[in-house]
Each structure stands twice: as C-alpha cells, then as structure tokens.
Amino acid sequence: MVASAVNAEEAELPERGSVAPGELSLPELYDIHGAMVWRTLKALGVPEIALDDAVQDVFLVVHRRASDFEARASVKTWLFGIAYRVAANHRRSLKRRATCELDPDLPDRGPNPQQHLQQAEATRFVQQFLETLNEANRAAFTACILEEMTVAEAAQALGVNLNTLYSRVRTLRARFMSALAARGVHR
C-alpha cells in the first residue's frame, strides 16, 4: 500500500538495477534513481530547503566514486548508502535536527481526486510515523519498507549487522501495523 504509492513514479523507468554506475552516464543514473535518492534523503530528515543540494551531493559522490563501485551490491543499495551518509552530513551541518516531511501534495497521476486525497493522507500518516522513530529505525524503515530493499541490501548499505536489522525491521513492521490499526486501517 505505502510502497506502491511511494514508488509510483519509478514504475515508468526502465529497470537497470544490475547495471554498474560506470556503464551509465550520470544523467542516466539520475533519471533512473534520482527520485529514490530524493525520497530517501527527505525520509532521513534532510530539510526541504536543503534537499536539492543533498541530491546534488549524492550524485557528486557517485561521479567521484563510480570507478570504485565493485558490484557487491546493487546500484540502488550503493546509492542508498551514499544518501544515508549525505543525509547525516547535511543534518549535522545545519546544526539542528530537521523533521522529515514527505510531500503530502503528490502529483495527481489520475483523474480521481479522491485517490489523490487518500495518497496525501497516507503520506502524512507515514510522515507522522517516521517522526516517532530514531535515526537508525528511520533508516531501516525507509530502506526496507518504503524503498523495498531486501534486509541484506539495507544491512550492507547501512553498515548494520544483518540479524540486528532483521529484528529491527520486524519490530518496525509490527509498530507500523499497530499504528495503522489504531487509525482504523485494516490490511
């Protein structure tokens, strides 16, 4: 439900997860993964005003480090790891902890205003849930649940023990489902 709404814009892009960064131009990498990087940075607490700079920083790192990519992980995992570190640097440099605010005004992809409203409400709900999480849990939730990375990919990107992350994700899913139930949403 949430992941489908969050990943709607990437559904139109070609799947190139197995392509190494050096095999694509920087604009192609940005076209394929830019929306995921932007969402990740926003979900990890980069303030709205700094998002464009943070996305640019991620792709500057990609440009500098493309030759270092060893294909031990997918490009998406590699980008998530870079975005995770860039988000931490941006928050630190701003000297304040910004609250994560997902865009409640998602572009209307269909003629149905009710669906647009439901998407906006779902986004606000996820935003409120993310605000209750600490940095480690927010990163785990964003990677595994919102961006649908495997736990193994997320553990590698975040530099976390695999079993620790499995436990964290299981707990986060339970908390999220409880929050949904409390809101009256039945899955």
- Measured from the Cβ of residue 103, the count of other Cβ atoms closer than 10 Å reads 15
- Tell me the per-residue pLDDT of 101-131, one tens digit each, with 9 for 90 and over: 445 554 545 556 777 777 788 888 888 899 9
Nearest CA among 137, 140, 148 for reference residue 8: 148
Contact 26, 60 (CB under 8 A): no
Q: Is the distance from CB of 55 to CB of 90 less than 8 angstroms?
A: no
Which pLDDT band holds residue 15 (cuts at 50, 70, 90)?
Answer: very low
Each residue of 140-150: pLDDT tens digit?
999 999 888 99
Q: Pick 70 or 153 by higher pLDDT.
A: 153
The residue ranking higher by pLDDT, 20 or 162, is 162
Sorting pLDDT into bands at 50, 70 and 90, what band is 93? confident
49-64: pLDDT as tens digits:
888 999 999 999 888 8
Residue 163 has pLDDT above 60, yes or no: yes
Higher-pLDDT residue of 7, 102: 102
Q: Do residues 82 and 62 touch, judged by C-beta distance below 8 A?
A: yes
